[in-house]
Amino acid sequence: MNRKAVKARKYRVFVLLQWIVVVIISGASVCLSQEQKKSLGELKIEGSHIEKLVLKRKNGQNEIINDPDAIIKLPVGEYSLFESHLKGGYIRLGTSTNEWIDVSQDKQAVLKVGAPLEQVLEVNRRGKVLILNYKLIGVGGEQYRDPMRPETRPSFTIYKGERKVGSDKFDYG
């Protein structure tokens, strides 16, 4: 055999080996994706008015669910609430909590998130100063904020009987 024929044969063997590797890899990913499709669990959402949920998996991947139903199907695994967006513009952002939800095939998992919202005003005293902290809390205890809040700060007035004792405006945050 001459050099050109040997070189051509080596090239064909190399291309054949590449195709074999591609077929093996794609076959493995098809098997993996079919296995993941079979391994679905249910997550029941207890709450309402949710536009979008972002759940963080233990492996670091995010699951984004737009307009979730009361029961959603997810791949089996552990999840933590990362973000929730409610109708009306209220958002719960930030790092995921340390509370993990185990979604399995055997048992339906539950996530409490969203409305109805509860308005909470915490009052603390430091000497003669009252510190007021306003929070908007969802059914799961998560705190929401309105990213489009108005420029004017909310105000308050304190009365002792009919007499006005003091008034001021809230600072956000």
Separation CA 84–CA 117 (nearest Å): 13
Domain containing 22: what range?
1-38
Comparing 32-36, 95-99, 113-117, the range with the smallest average pLDDT is: 32-36
Residue 110: pLDDT above 90? yes
- In a shared domain, residues 162 and 135: yes
Comparing 20-24, 107-111, 152-156, the range with the smallest average pLDDT is: 152-156
Residue 114: pLDDT above 70? yes
State the residue for tokens 């945050």.
173
Separation CA 49–CA 119 (nearest Å): 16
pTM for the whole structure: 0.63
- In a shared domain, residues 96 and 85: yes
Total domains in the chain come to 3
Query: Which of 90, 96, 99 is closest to 117 using CA atoms?
Result: 90
